[in-house]
Structure 1
Amino acid sequence: MKRRKFIKDTASFASLTFLPSAVWARTRNAKLRTAHIGVGGMGGADLKSISSHSMVEVTALCDVDANRLADAKKLHAHASTFADYRKLFDEIGKNIDAVIVSTPDHTHAPASLLAMEMDKPVYCQKPLTHHVTEARAVRKMAEEKGLVTQMGIQIHSFKEYRSAVQLIQDGIIGKVHTVRAWSPKNWGYNGAAPVGSDPVPDYLDWNLWLGTAPKRNYKDKVYHPGQWRKLLDYGCGTLGDMGVHIFDTPYTALALDVPKTVKTKCRKPTGFGHPEKNTVTYEFPGTAYTTDTLKWVWYDGPEAPKMHRDLKLPNGDQLPEQGAMFIGKKGRLLLPHWAFPKLIVGKKYESVSYPELEEVDHYHQFVDACMGKTETSAPFSYAARLTEAILLGVVANRFPNKKLHWNNASSSFAETEPNALLGGTYRAF
């Protein structure tokens, strides 16, 4: 293929410079021609939502699973189909205007970087990347090329979460000193790597599914579909999945960057799966909305969160299954996952006057931005920083009970050993 040099070393992107991106140059009435990489599961939902925009023309569909590709083709009969996203770009790259990446995490950066190398705006599912080095490379390329980008973190645009951002920044609970966030989901696996192999289904291209990840034998029901989130080579565990959603609003509201330190409490690393239960404690530099430093504690896995006085609710109420609690000098703000925030002062709930906000469609916002009508709210310049913070916790899971010190300027830990896990070697496939 013509455009595969990126596979050799992700870090090489950090030193590249680019000419400014071409702007939307087609006629005002022309539709945005989209290519969708990954069309099953969340990819199917992304395809449905992007294509619901009246100015979108689905031009290409790509998936390593022929069954999922066939289902998507039924809905978009005129779209070209591919198993390999590299062939898509080589054969019809000139005929597409924007790319949607909805693959397992380990393919997010390779596909997005290749699309952006061709000056294509990119909508990429969360977490933005699988490795910290990829997050920095993706951000650098998007910014230097001036491309429209959006991370697929749909709740970022929901009124409930935008209301919480405004309330916090308006000082409803004063300066915030602690955030506690949680999800009881278990995207972890404490067992050993499987042995042996199973026949690869005739509908699945296993080599393309692995992509840049290390070569591994296929095992039925271990990797595809769905279970990859639990495994180090392909996903980012519960922290990388639900953590991105639940971190997003506090991260935005408090105008955070990347943390100074991170420490985890979990089982010893196995070299294959993410931990099933996990507590991560971050320390962030202070901002205009926090005290001098901010403590952030994340809990995941069965029975999360561990109870703490910061999380006790009035009237003996139960915590929502997933959510975040802001603890400030004047009170607390509870933000349930998918609900409006609740103000707690002392031991009582207090009424809240929510700001009047317009509805925003996160997907349509991306399409409109590609056509020069608006800007995206979760561009890679933002998404990469949020993802980096999350991924530093994922790295720290391999060093339980050890505080790691992050240097934002040098993109490295003060401790030597974890720096080897900030990136990965891409397999030629």
Structure 2
Amino acid sequence: MAMNRRQFSGRVAAGLAGGFAMPGIVLGRKPDDLVRIALVGVGGRGADNLGSVLNQEVVGLCDVDATALGAASKRASHAKAFRDYRRMFDEIHDGIDAVVVSTPDHTHAVIANAAMDLGKHVYCEKPLTHSIHEARVLAGSAARKRVATQMGNAGHSSESTRRVVEIIRSGIIGPVREVHAWSDRPIWPQGVDRPTDAPPVPGSLDWDAWLGPAPARAYNPAYHPFKWRGWWDFGTGALGDMGCHIIDAAFWALDLGAPTSIEAESPPIEDHPDTAPAWSIVRYRFPANGGRETVNLTWYDGGKLPPAELFDGKPPGKGANGSLFVGEKGRLLVGQGGRGGPRLLPEKQFAGAKLPGRDIPRSPGHHEEWLAACRDPARPTGTHFGYAGPLTEVVLLGNVALRAGRKIEWDAAGMRVANGPTDDIYIRRDYRPGWAL
């Protein structure tokens, strides 16, 4: 069914005027009822997310790829299947309480915002958005609609990440002014040229719908189903893919907020302008706040790592993802999402050290706490969009610096680069005709 954005928005408005959408469990259903969930994107991460909500009432499944949709329909056979999320919202929005968005980065914002416009609770994969402007829009919509939201960086809900925050805030390693974070990504092509051939679109794929708000281009398996992550029009590169996981503990523990400057190094961006670079090192500076001094955070990907001496002779090996907090009294080494447990360095210095008690409430699980908030939106989730939006902005600002090719001074209040011109597309992207937030 062809439906442009204006038609869809008109039908959404009509539904709202008719009283179909309300925050919380809709239409007077009891708070202990199952949450009625629709999923947009059901392959890859979407398949994993479907498995996490199958104990609820899955009412809608949507994917532009019929193969993924067919596989999901076998797992949730009572759900109605759609190829276009706009048609799904138009037809069954009055039977939906909450929406899970697991599509490529470039379509997160338009889908999540449309769901919130209908008063639906939203779980959205990381990074929350493809652009900084979109992160602002989604955070604002979530606050205005008072819906339960959660970004899909599940490590935030783990026991180990809470221990990291408790250890850092206890002061056992002293004031932290330096953080290093690294990833083994990309594990998909980056720093490559745009393909010139145009093979036939697979019969199972609605390529135009997959492109969504992105500029039109010919189909190529270099993009779908997995390799889109490295292409600027669709993904956000290694930093965008993993930063919301790996930087999260520092963002939380140190209350980082927005950086004031960002600079990056990488192979020349202009050599392969359509993709993120094969590797990058990004340096952020966060200003002092009431509880701490200035913090410098450095990001590494594509095989780059912090100086070996910071690890007491045991640097992370190939395939590692993690972070290192450098304090005045010692260091804390953390695996991605806290996996493997935080480790104090130097080990001899901290042998037998007493760790702080547990003072952060524990999570029942990343999806579980979102489902609880869907029943009672007064119960906040750990990575609600008011938290996830600013974290995503930090991550995406590294890409702004990479693509600008110079150090940038960031004016967070004005959402602009303060030290000279930069291309607005790096902060606020254009949409294909018929698509908008």
What's the TM-score, normalizing by structure 1?
0.90
Q: What is aligned with 1:201? A: 202
Alpha-carbon offset, residue 147 of structure 1 = 1.2
- CA pair 355-50 structure 1, distance change in 2 beyond 3 A: farther
1:35 corresponds to: 38
- Within 5 Å, which residues of 2 pair with 1:338-357? 338-345=339-346, 348-350=349-351, 351=353, 353=355, 355-356=357-358
Residues of 2 paired with 1:135 and 1:226: CA distance?
23
Q: Deviations over 1:301-344 (max 9, x none)?
A: 02x214254x222xx32326111000111111111222211111
Residue of structure 2 equivalent to 1:14: none
In 2, Cα distance between equivalents of 1:308 and 1:296: 17
Displacement, 1:31?
1.7
Cα offsets for 1:101-142 (capped at 9, x unmatched): 000000100000100010101000000000000000000111
- 1:75 equivalent to 2:75? Answer yes
* Contact map agreement 1:7 1:212 (CA 8 A) in 2: no
Q: Percent identity?
A: 39
Change (3 A) 1:22 1:346: closer
2:323 maps to which residue?
A: 324
**How well do the aligned residues superpose, as a CA RMSD in angstroms?**
2.1
8 Å Cα contact 2:156/2:249 also seen in 1? yes
2:387 to 376, 382, 387: 382
Q: Within 5 Å, which residues of 2 pair with 1:8-407?
A: 22-24=23-25, 25-52=28-55, 56-186=56-186, 187=188, 189-219=190-220, 221-269=221-269, 270-291=272-293, 293-302=294-303, 304-309=304-309, 311-313=310-312, 316-319=313-316, 321-337=320-336, 338-345=339-346, 348-350=349-351, 351=353, 353=355, 355-356=357-358, 358=362, 360-372=364-376, 374-400=379-405, 402-407=406-411
Q: Matched residues in 2 for 1:358 and 1:143: separation?
A: 24
Q: Distance in 1 between matches of 2:53 and 2:94?
A: 20
- Distance of 1:254 and 1:262 partners within structure 2: 18
Which amino acid is the alignment partner of residue 41 of structure 1? G
Q: Secondary structure at the match of 1:417?
A: coil
Structure 2 CA distance, aligned partners of 1:222 and 1:3? 28
The 2-side partners of 1:277 and 1:178 are apart by 21
> Could you tell me how far apart the structure 1 residues matched to 2:144 and 2:401 are?
30
- Displacement of 1:5 in angstroms is 4.6
How far does residue 21 in structure 1 lie from its aligned partner after superposition?
5.8
Residue in structure 2 matched with residue 11 of structure 1 by the alignment? none
TM-score, with structure 2 as normaliser: 0.89
Any idea what the Cα deviations from partners look like across 1:253-279, whole Å, max 9, x if unmatched?
001111100000012223200011000
Shift of 1:346: 8.2
Equivalent residue letter for 1:216: R
SS of residue paired to 1:122: strand
Query: Does the 8 A contact of 1:150 with 1:376 survive in 2?
Result: yes
In the TM superposition, what whole-angstrom CA distance separates every residue of 1:191-223 from its partner, at most 9, and x where no partner exists?
21111301000000000110110000011x201
SS in 1 for 2:124: strand
Is 1:265–1:280's contact at 8 Å kept on the other side of the alignment? yes
**Structure-1 separation of matches of 2:355 and 2:297:** 27
Would you say the 8 A contact 2:24–2:121 is kept in 1?
A: no
For 1:217 and 1:60, how far apart are their aligned partners in 2?
29
Count matched residues.
408
Deviation (angstroms), 1:418:
3.7
For residues 378-402 of structure 1, give each alpha carbon's deviation from its aligned partner in whole angstroms, at most 9, with x where no partner exists.
10000000000100101111133x2
**Which ranges of structure 1 fall in alignment gaps of 5 or more residues?**
9-19
Deviations 1:65-105 (A, max 9, x none): 10110000001111000010000101111110000000000
Residue 18 of structure 2 corresponds to none
SS in 1 for 2:247: helix
Q: Read off the aligned partner of 1:42 and give its amino acid letter.
A: R
